[in-house]
Amino acid sequence: MNYRWKIQPQPHAVFVNKLAKDINCEPTHAKLLHQRGFDNFDKAKIFFRPTIDQLHNPFLMKDMDKAVARIAQAIENNEKIIVYGDYDVDGTTAVALMYLFLKDLFIQKGINHKYNLAFYIPDRYKEGYGISTAGIDFAKANNYKLIICLDCGIKSIDKIDYANTRGVDFIICDHHTVGDQIPNAIAVLDPKRKDCDYPYKELSGNGVGFKLCQALTQHFELAPNYLHSLMDLCAISIAADIVPITGENRVLAYFGMKLINEQPRAGIKAILDLSNVRKELSITDCVFLIGPRINAAGRIDTGNTAVKLLIASTSKEAQQYCVRINKNNTERQGLDKNITLEALQMLEDDPEINSKKSTVLFSATWHKGVVGIVASRLTEKYYRPTIVLTESNGMATGSARSVKDFDVYEAIAECSDLLDQFGGHKYAAGLTMPTSNVPKFITKFETVVNRSIKDHMLTPEIEIDCNINFSDITPKFLRILKQFAPFGPGNMNPIFKTKNVIAEGNTKIFKEVHLGLDVVQSDYKTSPIAAIGFNLIGRLELIKSKKPFEISYAIEENQYNGQRILQLSIKDIRAQD
């Protein structure tokens, strides 16, 4: 695949040198800080040293006072409460967080949590995404007067109206894009509400739930220690839901990752033990190691298993659920592989494939639990807005994934006349429609994308922070660079560019498409640096030519047998300018 290289705007040397002197760092670090908006000593201190005090007052969020008042009323009246959430990582971690917090609060208040508190994850196949009629009926039948809904609900207008007729109150904690109408719930917490002045808009669904717990902590004058112990669940949701790691999310991710690495809860430790992981974890590890296993429960079996794993109080209990989830994940991997191959073949058989700017595929036999993953795989391969649909309960349902800077949610919204329901974000969304509408939808969605997407968006972009030489990569340089973590959207692992690079020794090929090589810079005397280039087999001839080339890369540490080894993760290789 070809890539566009884009050099980020470079701050003026005068400002860079001043900041470097003020905080005793290399000019390159000062450049990176400026590019991220931390252009003076005080801002840099906030960035490098997150504190709990940086979290905003939760009562700044619209309807927070109503939510707290209703929960306080439920506790005073000894009412039964259900914690309800989506079946993905964000939803199940949010349910676990809220359940654990309320359980501790109930115990402190002398309330029987085993009777008064429950959690509910809708069945992906029988109930579908979001608030379900079955969930409301369950609450009514079992005398639950209040449902706290997490990571869904913002567009459940009809379902909330139905719940009101059944005498079941709702508090919605969501972070998805808000529609034209707000559900008629007791409280609707969503920082993306147009009438919400909350200063940080990018919380995960779990994060919105955390803010409610923070508000309850203040209201009941609880010690904050227990609340802080739940930040590991926030970190996992932030990583898996790919929300920006800026502002409050950076604080939650920073302290959450410390918990995961220093005091992992029983469920997380069970995942690590079963996966034989013995290293310090990063946000990336949460995305590719922890997240998929938690997700697999809701994709293959039931999201309830994931919640039970996360709230397990003993290693024995956690091990039991982890074994089940690991089996789900193995099954998920097989389905993912087979359906991806089928989808790729469908695209290869399409004579118009190269003229299209979107991909929409439908097969009634595909497993609903993995269509989102398959959409991601196809987006990586063909790099264009992609929707993968299957049939469930007589309807076509599926997931959408997008490319950088293209709002797939808005594109889907333009096709809403063909849809039963839809929701999501700029880069990922879900949708449902009558199967008879699929051909019309494919045509209309392509028309919308073709009209609105820019040609450059269809080529993946590598954003390069700045140029450096290998001689700049000193122990001090690496020590400060590590403090930029946790990395993610809004604070990506810096990408550097280096020229006059040559490979020493033999270049290794892994799994037919990946490269392993040792690199040096021809005009500097430095020791060879180990590097790996995923899916860069197409650059092998350039490397073998022995002519100097330039690389874009991130600097990483490869942890192996208890040792930390410097490694470059090469994003692309191209001929010297």
- Position 559 scores a pLDDT of 76
- Position 385 scores a pLDDT of 97
Q: Give the count of alpha carbons within 13 A of 365, CB side only.
A: 6
Handedness of CA 270, 275, 280, 285 (dihedral sign): negative
Which top CATH class is 58-231? alpha beta
- Position 481 scores a pLDDT of 96
Q: Where are the domains of the chain?
A: 9-45, 58-231, 350-458, 462-577
- Position 128 scores a pLDDT of 85
If you search the block for the tokens 């969501």, which residue do you land on? Answer: 174
Which residue, among 419, 412, 414, 423, has the nearest Cα to 438 in the 3D structure? Answer: 419
- Position 523 scores a pLDDT of 82
If you search the block for the tokens 């398959």, which residue do you land on? Answer: 374
Residues contacting 477, CB < 8 A, separation 6+: 26, 28, 29
- Position 230 scores a pLDDT of 97
- Position 159 scores a pLDDT of 97
Structure-token pair, residue 132: 């379900």
Give me the helices (H) in 10-132, please: 13-23, 27-35, 41-48, 64-76, 89-108, 113-116
Low-confidence ranges of the chain (pLDDT < 70): 562
> In the CATH scheme, what architecture does the domain 350-458 have?
Roll (3.10)
> pLDDT by residue (tens digit) across 120-169?
999 988 898 889 999 999 999 999 999 999 999 999 999 999 999 999 99
- Position 276 scores a pLDDT of 87
DSSP 8-state class, residue 492: P
Structure-token pair, residue 239: 């990583």
- Position 287 scores a pLDDT of 93
Please give, one letter per residue, the 3-state secondary structure of 153-213: CCCCHHHHHHHHHCCCEEEEECCCCCCCCCCCCCEEECCCCCCCCCCCCCCCHHHHHHHHH
Is the Cβ–Cβ distance between 391 and 364 less than 8 Å?
yes
- Position 129 scores a pLDDT of 85
Helix (H, G, I), strand (E, B) or coil at 222: coil
Single pTM value for the model? 0.92
* CATH fold group of domain 462-577: OB fold (Dihydrolipoamide Acetyltransferase, E2P) (2.40.50)
Which residue, among 490, 572, 575, has the nearest Cα to 5 in the 3D structure? Answer: 572
- Position 188 scores a pLDDT of 98
Residue 514 CA, distance from chain mean position: 25
- Position 1 scores a pLDDT of 83
Alpha carbons 233 and 256: distance in angstroms, whole number: 7
Structure-token pair, residue 235: 């970190």
Please give, one letter per residue, the 3-state secondary structure of 253-315: HHHHHHHHHHCCCHHHHHHHHHCCCCCCCCHHHHHHHHHHHHHHHHHHCCHHHHHHHHHCCCH
- Position 174 scores a pLDDT of 97
The long-range contacts involving 126-129, CB below 8 angstroms and separated by at least 24 positions, are 126/393, 128/392, 128/393, 128/397, 128/432, 129/86, 129/423, 129/430
